[in-house]
Amino acid sequence: MIGADDAPAIDASELKRRLMTVPEREGRLVLLVGGEPMLRPDLLRLVATVRSVGCHPGIVSTGRALAYPHVRDKIMRAGIDYLRIQLFGREEEHDATARVPGAYEHVMGGVSAWLDEAESGDIDVAIYARDRSAESLTAEVERIAADLSPGRAQILIAGEPFDAPGVAAAMPGLAGWNDDGARPLLAWEGIAEASSPAAHATVPAIGGAFVGVRPTASCLGRSEELASAGRELTVRSNSFNFIRRPVAVPFVERASDCGAFQASDRESRDRRLWLRDGDDLALYETDTADFDASEIARIKDDWSHLFVDRAAVGVLDDFTEGMRRVLPDPVCDDCPNWSACARRFVTVEGPPFAAEEAWIADYVAKLRGRVLDVGCGEQLYRDAIVPLVRAGTIAYTGIDPDEPSLNEWRALLPEGRFFQGGVEEFAGMRSSYDRVLCLRSLNHVYDLDEAIARMASLMKPRGQLLIVETTPFAMLREAEQVAAADRAPRAGHQHFRNVTSEDVLPYARRRGLGVVHHHPAGLETTNEWILLLERPG
């Protein structure tokens, strides 16, 4: 442990030597902790040392020093990526523990000023649980939330033990906290893996000093992705097939006369469905191993994100005329044999994504100013973008990891600027873009939290970020269509995840972005969701 009044436990050269012995340190977060790191005269050198070995510097502090502008300026110039402010309660309780009257007010004022002035970096306001009761812990979270505006700061419930009855009793009551966008995010640190979907990873301190990897904070009510940032990701499929089988029964109007259930297998009903085909009901079945039973049920039974492939063999991704949505036949709702049957579906005429695509096309046509297109390679709205660039209405910058796609863009639009790579590595100037587009690209980024943070930082005040993405779906196909799809070449960059718009909202709130328009995926819509976010002025 180190402090301003202590003999330094470690200096910059010793810190570097010890960090160099840490395996796989690249991208890790190194925390500088107590006494009070902000008061160390060599703080800038320590931070620079952390960066020099490929790590991200963070500080754990009581936060009182943030009340002083010159201290905030020094820390911001040092390039701190993470701040954790320790609270011992609210107001009088914190003041009594800190033994400084008004300490709580100083801390919260400094946190507010930091959030107003800093362009990047995360900040946690940590409450130590200790032996608090469920009532006192819940009340404290609510009171501290009232002193924080929603944005990059989140409340972190920290400290062992987490098997205390009061903490365990408080968790269910606070589990839905993050559903309310008007609140700061709430995270829990130190929850055992059996109690949380998040993976927790720590690294021992070096030689008893103050260096370590930030413990994972598990955020109840939001995606696991934020809690597991930094783990190796694996690619994921975003679709599977229901294949037509040589089984059919006559179509009848009344459920009581339907014989589909007699040809169904109760054990495999979740992997089967019946589709009306003229005067018959045709049986379709999936053998996918990419999705488990609960995922198949969500796609088939809950959301009906099912599409019949009407395109000729070998023709893929015709989203207008080549696909049609299929929905559950309402006649099955009152069928006494429903539990033993795979359920029947009917085809809906018309392009399935007409409403969503019309909204997106209208937004793209109204673009103005400097535009950044994240994942521009398979841009479906080139016919609208190219005239805007050539008329001088927009200045267009596109980034994409796929070089052949970028070369096509360069040939088509020499007036644009193009960069190969991901948004996490894009070295654009902060606060410089009026509009950022991320159209069907978010599931391809490696680090979801970092990508949202980077796009938010690149937007001007009142700038907007349009995210369009799709949730998993299933195609109803003939065996020949499946074989042709399997033979088709795969893109070089695949899905790392299948997020919903609701999964993304906590990340947006974490970066202080407000919601202008939200069109979620669901049964009443398609699997294409839209999220339009805006950076405050």
Q: Higher pLDDT residue, 315 or 67?
A: 67
For the chain, report the end-to-end CA distance as a whole number of angstroms. 41
Q: What is the mean pLDDT of residues 241-269?
A: 83
Residue 395, in any domain of the structure: yes
The count of structural domains within the chain is 3
Q: Looking at the domain assignment, is residue 231 inside a domain? A: no
**Percent of the residues in the chain that have a pLDDT greater than 70, as a whole number:** 81
Question: Both 516 and 377 in a single domain?
Answer: yes
For residue 328, CA distances in Å to 17, 266, 347 come to 64, 18, 9
pLDDT of res. 171: 72
Is 280 in the same domain as 323? Answer: yes
Q: Could you tell me if 194 and 299 lie in one domain?
A: no
Using 50, 70 and 90 to split pLDDT, how confident is the model at 308? very high
- Distance (Å, whole) CA 366 – CA 211: 50
3-state secondary structure 109-145: HHHHHHHHHCCCCEEEEEEECCCCCHHHHHHHHHHHH
Residue 72 lies in a domain: yes
CB 155 within 8 A of CB 217: no
* pLDDT higher than threshold 90 for residue 202: no
Structural domain containing residue 291? 239-347
Residue 25 pLDDT class (50, 70, 90 cuts)? low
Tell me the three-class secondary structure of 137-196, residue by residue. Answer: HHHHHHHHHHCCCCCCEEEEEECCCCCCHHHHHHHHHHCCHHHCCCCCEEEEECCCHHHC
pLDDT higher than 50, residue 525 = yes
Mean pLDDT calculated for residue range 13-20: 84
The top-scoring range by mean pLDDT among 199-213, 255-269, 360-374, 490-504 is 360-374
* CA atoms in the 13 A half-sphere facing the CB of 452: 27
What whole-number percentage of the chain has pLDDT above 90? 32
157 and 254 both lie in a single domain: no
- Examine the domain organization and report whether 343 and 358 are in the same domain: no
Judgement on whether residues 214 and 253 belong to the same structural domain of the protein: no
Residue 227 lies in a domain: no
> Taking the alpha carbons of 254, 256, 262, 268 in that order, is the dihedral positive or negative?
positive
Res. 195: pLDDT tops 80:
no
Residue 355 has pLDDT above 60, yes or no: yes
Q: How far is CA 127 from the centre of its chain?
A: 25
From 190, 221, 252, the end of a domain falls on: 221
Query: Do 320 and 367 reside in the same domain of the chain?
Result: no
Domain boundary among 331, 347, 363: 347
**Domain assignment of residue 169, yes or no:** yes
> Do residue 250 and residue 270 come from a single domain?
yes
447 domain residue, yes or no: yes
**pLDDT tens, position by position, 121-177:** 678 888 876 666 777 778 888 888 887 766 667 888 875 545 555 666 777 777 777
Q: How confident is the model at residue 275 (pLDDT cuts 50, 70, 90)?
A: very high
CA distance 393 to 433: 14
92: number of CA atoms within 13 Å, CB side? 0
The pLDDT confidence band at residue 389, using thresholds 50, 70 and 90, is very high
Q: Which tokens belong to 403?
A: 């070089």
Q: Examine residue 4 and state whether it is found in any structural domain, yes or no.
A: no
164, 186, 221 — which closes off a domain? 221
- Mean pLDDT across 198-218: 30
193 and 279 housed in the same domain = no
Q: Average pLDDT of 357-364?
A: 96
CATH number of the domain residue 372 falls in: 3.40.50.150
Q: Are residues 182 and 277 in the same domain?
A: no
- 0.85 cut: is pTM over it? no
Co-location of 190 and 244 in the same domain: no
Q: Are residues 46 and 130 in the same domain?
A: yes
Q: Distances in Å between the alpha carbon of 283 and those of 85, 208, 243, 297?
A: 59, 65, 8, 17
- 449 is a domain residue: yes
Mean pLDDT of 87-113: 79
